[in-house]
Amino acid sequence: MRVGREFAAAGVVNEKIYVLGGCLVDCWVRSKNWAEVYDPLMGLWTPIESPIEVREKWMHGSAVMGGKFYAMEDRGGVVFDPVEESWGYVSTELDMGWRGRAAVVDEVLYCYDYLGKIRGFDVKECKWKELKGLEKDLPKFLCGATMANVGGKLFVVWEGKENGNGVEISCAEVEVHKDSCGGLRGLLMWSQVILALPRGSSVVHCLGVGL
């Protein structure tokens, strides 16, 4: 990248890496390169033109849905369409429901809300729906929950209670789908403790990586 960043948004669209935000636009270089795209075939970073009104510094979440790049700011969020090379703002419905670290499976954005529910947002319907079917399978509250798409399944990672040995990190694999009425259903494949970390540790983020 042409500028240093922290708390930036990043996503992959059409095999290219898009990055935006995470820097102050206090000079010409940062202003011009507030948004960049990396082409792995060419091995080059290229700046993306962006309107000044969307150039917030901190980005708290990002996702790719329907070929568009979504990034959440302190208040609201922006949408970038790489094909049309156009910018817009996220809907109020998406902004109000997007909490914490999310993952997209089958074009539905899943996140864990403050009420202890996993919810999914369908961009086509512009509506949040609770993921049903897991009420008896997962703990009522998942501390520090974060999610990832791994092979088309929704993986949920969370922190257990601290004990004398440290913090237990648990993971669950969930198969998600839409039912006949358009609702979201989840089927727990497995759930278990996968890691023990020193006391005071926390889950910052998780990603699905193909090896």
pLDDT, the chain, mean: 90
What pLDDT, on the 0 to 100 scale, is given for residue 178?
A: 94
Domain 100-197 has CATH 2.40.128: yes
The model scores a pTM over 0.95: no
17-71 tens-digit pLDDT: 999 988 888 887 778 889 999 999 999 999 999 998 888 878 888 999 999 999 9
Residue 96 identity: M
Could you state, in order of their start, the residue ranges of all structural domains in the chain?
A: 9-90, 100-197
Predicted local confidence at residue 206, as pLDDT: 81
